[in-house]
Homo-oligomer: A and B are copies of this chain.
Amino acid sequence: MSEGLFDGVLARGASGAGDRAWLQAMLDAEAALARARASVGQIPGDVAEAIAAACRAEDYDVASLGRDAVGGGNPAAPLAKALTARVEGAARGEVHRGFTSQDVLDTALMLVVARVRPALLGDLRGAADACAALAAEHRDTPIAGRTLLQQAVPTTFGLKAAGWAAGLDGAVARLDAFRPAAQLGGAAGTLASLGGEALAVRAAFAAGLGLDDPALPWHTDRGRIVGLAAALGGACAAVAKVAGDVVLLAQTEVGEVREATGGTSSTMPHKHNPVAAVSALGCARPAPGLVAAVLSAAGGHEHERAAGSWHAEWTPLRALLVAAISAAAWLRESVSGLEVDAERMRANIHELTLAEQAATALADETGRERANELVAEAAREGRLPEGADVDVGAATGSAGALVDRFLAGR
């Protein structure tokens, strides 16, 4: 997204959360306010359109705005100045009028989120769909059920993949419920410089941007920010669960799945790194700390505008947005076309995961007590008793029915 040395390393599909996207969103806010004021007659329509016409990100230099923001506390003021310099006549006095810097930046954040969300949701849904497809295809493929990283009893890969899909579906639902809202309050939230039509201006402003128009300015009510951070952190958590399982199943010693596009190496030809899943984990792992950083800031906004807490939101929130977008994109790549080795899954199942079934089967012949003894004796040598009639499929309980139920309800 950006041009830095590290920015692209794990980032994926995150240009919509990059500087240029922020710049355009800030300009869109400026244009929308001008038009909203025109809509209630505060300024002539052509003045508003002159301002709006100058609101194209490609006409501005990010680096130069960034430099002008140094010490000023935020990039809204230098942008307003640069925008003013690109208009003429009456428009000059009307640029940014009614805004406080936080109005511009909070609104821009919401626009950025609203704009990147479809792609983010698309990747989460794409990953979930790929998992659901695996669930359908492998409804009856046995795999070792593992608890505490030890084989316990059999399950199916279909049920495992359905669980992955369910987690991602949940993340989608939580992100989808977030409602981006416009911010307009002026210096102390009273809309004082927008006169008697202030509420009408605000309604038009929000409508023009396709954002909610909340009853009150939310300069220091950061519930929306908390909700956003939580939804992004939740998406990272859901991704991390799936990516972690893929990495574990792809271990050399397990070998049950393999990424279609994993990296290879001439000096280590056996190595098939699950690069996409590992990258997804790399993106997702810092998320809890980033959420904490956002929440710390979001809970302490003093009075009408905070002494530092607002500024404190930017670094972790922007990092979290990039992390969630990238994690979802990597995971989608990982699970789309994941190569599943059903034979290896079956072969890996330790015989003794069927010990209880074997004992039950033997009990018909020998009685329960003796059956248990026979199984215990054999188990000491790491095998089942000879003649124990076991069937992995029968040991997977309601796995198939659970998959059916899940897929039917999606």
Contact = CB atoms under 8 A, between A and B. Distances in A.
Contacts of A74: 9
Interface stretch (A30-38, A87-95, A230-238, A361-369): A230-238
Given A216-B402, A269-B375, A282-B308, A303 B147 contact: yes
B285 A66 contact: no
A321 B11 CA distance: 21
A318 interface: yes
A247 B148 contact: yes
B233 A170 contact: no
Contacts of A257: none
Contact of A226 (B66, B67, B237, B284): B237
Interface in A239-286: 240-241, 243-245, 247-248, 250-254, 266-275, 277-286
A176 interface: no
A211 interface: no
Given A167-B222, A177-B177, A289-B292, 13 more contacts: A2-B4, A9-B66, A9-B70, A147-B305, A150-B273, A152-B187, A194-B397, A199-B398, A199-B401, A280-B308, A286-B296, A288-B292, A289-B295
Given A8-B70, A198-B401, A296-B285, A149 B291 contact: no
B288 A312 contact: no
Interface residues of A, number: 168
Nearest to A22: B5
A356 B321 CA distance: 40
B284 A288 contact: no
A216 to B, nearest CB: 5
Interface majority SS (helix, strand, loop, mixed), chain A: helix
Contact of A5 (B11, B66, B296): B66
A144 interface: yes
A378 to B, nearest CB: 9
A406 to B, nearest CB: 4
A3 B66 contact: yes
Contacts of A156: 190
Given A4-B62, A9-B75, A270-B350, A152 B314 contact: no
A372 B3 contact: no
Contacts of A162: 216
